[in-house]
Amino acid sequence: MAKVITNANQKGGVGKSTTTINLARAAAVQGKRVLVVDFDAQGNATSAIVRDPLERDEMGEIVQITVADAIMPRATVTLEEVVVPSIWDGIDLVPSGTPLAAVEEMIIPAQAREFKLANVLKPLLPNYDLVLIDSPPSLGQLTVNALTASEQVLVVTQPQQWSADGMAELAKTVTNVQTYFNQKLTYVGVLVNMWQGTTEERATKRNKQVLADIEEYFVEAPLLRPFIPFRTHIGEAVDEGIGLDQWKTVPMRMIAEDYATHVNTIMAG
């Protein structure tokens, strides 16, 4: 039975999709069967790793079935029908796109709306070892659905000043889901992305303060080490569909090993 993880942060641009993709790749290299659920209407994970481009009409609108079709009210499509191959062996994908934004509005008045994803995902869990849900940069109904469907949440952030209100709201959302919809939900931890510098001891005063703030607001979520360093090649690898373990330089392949370390943490949790 698969372990289900949501990568979350209501702040955009922190590297959630990149983290999802690289964790999936690291897990697949270890021989695990992985399902990536793109639950963001921006569809960044889909664009990066879908093997065959999604079908579109002459106006450029997506006509292929996506995760939106499986969770909409009175859906006639199963999530299994939505699954497509990724560019890498061992990783399947539940694609997403702009239709998901409209469906989010449609499920707000629906009965048991928080369990839409959990209900359609459950039949697929025996087929995989790890399910990674790439949630949207918001704390709306889609993120609540992702958290309700998950065993654990991985907070993905970067070492920039993040308002106390932002951290408090994310922590509050997780607590509300734990209280009302998914009592088994726990934290994997907080993964710091785009770390600039060398060691924590030599970090800037600002970065040290950010780490202290994270530990204050996410008491139940340990900071995961090693941090993922800022490297432009990480984005390039995603854009080119190349695993970090396949990259030509040793430092990038070492980052692939860092992601593998985090996969080990996830699977041991």
CATH no. for residue 130? Answer: 3.40.50.300
- Check residues 123 and 247 and name the one with the higher pLDDT: 123
The verdict on residue 243 lying in a domain is yes
Q: Is residue 189 part of a domain?
A: no
| Alpha helices (runs of H) in the chain, residue ranges in sequence order | 16-29, 44-49, 67-71, 79-82, 99-107, 116-121, 141-148, 164-180, 205-217, 232-240, 250-268
Q: Could you read off the pLDDT of 64-117 as tens digits, one per residue?
A: 999 999 999 999 999 999 999 999 999 999 999 988 999 999 998 888 999 999
Cα angle 202-207-213, degrees, rounded to a multiple of 5: 130
Residue 251's pLDDT is what?
A: 81
CA distance 222 to 174: 15
- Residue 33's domain comprises 3-153+231-268
Distance of CA 148 to the CA centre of its chain: 14
**Tokens of residue 160, six digits:** 């920039």
What is the value of pTM for the model shown?
Answer: 0.94
Compute the distance between CA of residue 171 and CA of residue 153 in angstroms, rounded to an integer: 11
Residue 177 lies in a domain: no
Q: Distance (Å, rounded) from C-alpha 5 to C-alpha 23?
A: 11
What distance in Å separates the CA atoms of residue 134 and residue 10, rounded to the nearest whole number? 12
Mean pLDDT (the chain) is: 90
Specify if 198 maps to a domain.
no
Least trusted range by pLDDT, from 50-54, 115-119, 157-161, 197-201: 197-201
In the predicted structure, residue 244 carries a pLDDT above the cut 60: yes
Q: What is the pLDDT of residue 203?
A: 66
- Partnered with residue 223 across adjacent β-strands are 190
Sheet holding 223-224, edge to edge: 84-85, 91-94, 34-38, 130-134, 3-8, 152-157, 186-192, 223-224
* Residue at 165 is within a domain: no
114 within domain boundaries: yes
**Residue-level pLDDT at 165:** 63
Domain-embedded: residue 226: no
Q: Who wins on pLDDT, 45 or 110?
A: 45
The whole-number pLDDT of residue 190 equals: 93
Residue 168 lies in a domain: no
Contacts 24+ apart (CB under 8 A), 236-243: 238/17, 238/18, 238/21, 238/22, 238/48, 239/48, 241/48, 241/49, 241/87, 243/25, 243/29, 243/88
Residue 223, pLDDT score: 92
For residues 13 and 166, what is the distance between their CA atoms, to the nearest angstrom? 14
Rounded to an integer, what distance in angstroms lies between the CA atom of residue 153 and that of residue 150? 7
Q: What is the pLDDT of residue 199?
A: 63
Number of domains observed in the structure of the chain: 1
